[in-house]
Amino acid sequence: MAHPIRLKRYSVETEAGWHSYSLDGDLVALVGAVNTGKSSFFEGVAYTFGAEPVWPVAMDRFVHRVETEVLLGGQHVRLRRSVRGADRQVELLEPDGALAEILPLKDTDDNGRTTLSQWLMDALGLSNLLGTARRGKKPVTFNELLDFLYVRQSTIDQKIAGHRADRPSALRQTLLELLFGLSTPDLPALEAELRGVSDTIRQLTQDQASISTFLNASTATNLDAVQADIARATEEHGAAESRLKVIETELTALTGAAEPLRAALRQAVDEAEATHRRASSARRALSDSESSVDQLRKRLEKAHKPVLQCLHCHTDLSRRTLPENACPLCTETNTDLATAAVLIQRQLDAARDRVVQGQARVAEAEKAAAAADARVGDLQQRLDEATRRLIAPHADQLADARVAVAETAARLQSLQRLVEPHQRLRTLKEQLREAEERRVELTQARKDLIASYAVRRSDVLDSLNDIFGDVVAEMDLPWYAGDARIDRATYLPIVDGQGVERLGGGTRAAVTVGYHVSLLRYLLTNRVGDLPTFLMIDSPTKNVGRNDWDTRFAQRIYRSFVDFVTARAGAGIATDPFQVVVADNDLPASVRGHVLVHDFDHDRPLIPGLRNPHAAEQ
């Protein structure tokens, strides 16, 4: 099933406005000297697809926004993203520039909004196919798919579809299997469940070992033994409590002779409590009388003092003249101040008399309370002595019975604490058994699923091997001995028995290009597979020199794919929509006629009018 991506136009916005480059061709090339913006062009396209850019400072300084007009799975849109600031969203525009939607760059959005990655996957019809694949515990995003579609200049001789020798990518293998029909979306989901079950078994085993270590310190080796011990301990504890109750009942009967003393003690306690209540009441009355004396004394002092300052506005009143017998506060003249003072004095004297009387009553009540307390103490001492004489012969028996109750209670509690870990251990064993059975089921299901794809897998890998062998032969690599294949386990290229990481720099880059071109040629030849028929390669002839042999080598790298396309077109063979965009310092003249070319130089760089991209100011 074809999933075409076709770049229609790429634009950059500077202070001078928008500058656009048409890309509407099957084969497109950006050609020019170093530092003219070719890699920044590709990074800008990837940036609108959500990738983090690797571009020079000139892009940050002089470009405001970038935009890619693109056809994705039949949808014609423009993706626009700001270069300035930490912009974490992309504007989705209609072909006429009308804003359709703003797409966040998150893996998933907490508010339920469609993210850029989700929109791209949906537009290409790949959401269901890749939905079960995982990047750790996170869903796969378009960025992981982009590793198959965009070969960066900086890593063309280091990585293949996201794989590096020092950092192998299991996700790359999973995605290739899904995209080329070597597997089914059910397999990643099944493998994820299998990993989860294996993790569960590991955790259950650790928990079981920890609890077993704890329980090994006890004599009860299993839950049934613990419960039997609990039953015996419960019986022993009940017997000890019954024995203690019998002894206490017998002692209560023996101490009946002391009952008159107990009755006298209870009466004395009641009387002592009553005398304490009376003493407390007398103290409260005395306190009230003392408060009255204090208040009347203050009133009498005020009656003899002149008012020297207004209580309201604080005006000085010391120099004013009042009529005879006038009140110094309200200045009322129809008052008898002397009589008022005499009345207050009489009230004060009466209050003082009440204080004296109250003090006498408090002393008397406290004396009575002390006497009552002494009587209670005397009776309690006599009762204790009488009780000791009666129970002394039985004290050891009582103590032993109480110790027996405490010991059996402690043993019962200790055993009961073992029940929960034994129950937990039994539960863990059952869960572990179920998990191991599930792992066996999943392992077999995985084997069956892989087996069901064995024929399909063999056919696809055979075809990829043939195509990759043809591509490498057409390139005629230096010292090539004729053995080029795709490893059937890792799906990585092997040339003359060597992995790509063991090849020379220029050969390494050429093999990486050949690998990606082989994937695209497989899709176009067989018209099956789900990898989008789009490829963007930055510097396919990286590390290739400029002598005669290297120049011919560079020509062969380009001719390999151009001849494939032109031959199919000449033979009238239908080919699904595709696009290949390359950037390089030069382009062989023999292929220029088949390619839409944009030439850049230092007078005409990607950013128009830019003379010195490294200058601090422009």
- What whole-number distance in Å separates Cα of residue 585 and Cα of residue 276? 111
**What pLDDT score does 522 carry?**
92
Helices (H), 186-222: 186-215
Query: Mean per-residue pLDDT for 200-206?
Result: 92
Average pLDDT over residues 244-255: 75
The whole-number pLDDT of residue 254 equals 61
pLDDT at 618: 35
Q: What strands lie across the sheet with 65-72, from one edge to the other? A: 17-22, 5-14, 65-72, 75-82, 89-93, 99-104
Say if residue 92's pLDDT is above 70. yes
Quote the pLDDT of residue 612.
Answer: 63
- What per-residue confidence (pLDDT) applies to 304? 64
Question: Which residue would you say has higher pLDDT here, 257 or 6?
Answer: 6
Q: What is the reported pLDDT for 329?
A: 64
- The answer on pLDDT for 580 being more than 90 is yes
Q: Span 488-495, mean pLDDT?
A: 91
Residue 577 or 315, more confident? 577
Which is more confidently placed, 327 or 245? 245
Confidence of residue 613 (pLDDT cuts 50, 70, 90): low
pLDDT above 60 for 534 = yes
Q: Both tokens of residue 470?
A: 């043809």
Please check the confidence at residue 416 and state whether its pLDDT lies above 70.
yes
**Residue-level pLDDT at 325:** 65
Which residue would you say has higher pLDDT here, 230 or 71? 71
Note the Cα 404 to chain centre separation in Å.
55
| Burial environment of residue 42 by CB neighbours within 10 A (0 to 12, 13 to 18, 19 or more) | buried
Q: Among 377-381, 410-414, 481-485, which is the least confidently predicted range?
A: 410-414
Q: pLDDT value at position 617?
A: 42
In the chain, what percentage of residues exceed pLDDT 70? 90
pLDDT per position as a tens digit, 337-379: 677 778 888 888 898 898 899 899 989 989 998 998 999 899 8
Q: Is the pLDDT of residue 310 over 90?
A: no
Q: What pLDDT score does 218 carry?
A: 65
CB 499 within 8 A of CB 492: yes
The pLDDT value recorded for residue 467 is 94
Which residues have a Cβ under 8 Å from the Cβ of 351 and sit 6 or more positions away?
A: 289, 292, 293, 296
State yes or no: pLDDT of 38 exceeds 70: yes
C-alpha–C-alpha distance, residues 128 and 118, integer Å: 11
pLDDT score, position 400 = 84
The β-bridge partners of 485 are 494
| Residues ≥6 apart with Cβ < 8 Å to 341 | 300, 303, 304
Give tens-digit pLDDT for 130-181.
888 887 778 889 999 999 999 998 888 888 877 776 666 788 888 998 999 8
User: Looking at per-residue confidence, does 252 or 125 come out higher?
Assistant: 125
pLDDT band of residue 332 (cuts 50, 70, 90) is: low
Confidence band of 560 (pLDDT split at 50, 70, 90): confident
Q: Report which listed range, 304-308, 391-395, 439-443, 539-543, is most confident.
A: 439-443
The pLDDT value given to residue 19: 95
Q: What is the pLDDT of residue 505?
A: 77
Predicted local confidence at residue 166, as pLDDT: 62
Residue 494: its H or E element: strand 493-495
Predicted confidence at residue 435, as pLDDT, reads 93
Strand spans (E) along 59-213: 65-72, 75-82, 89-93, 99-104, 134-135, 138-139, 150-151
Q: For 313-391, where are the alpha helices, taking DSSP H only?
A: 337-391
Closest CA to 583 of 525, 547, 543, 536: 536
CA dihedral sign, ordered 208, 212, 213, 214: positive
Strands of the sheet containing 498-499, edge to edge, are 484-486, 493-495, 498-499
For the residues 228-238, what does the mean pLDDT come to?
86
Predicted local distance difference test score (pLDDT) of residue 280 = 92
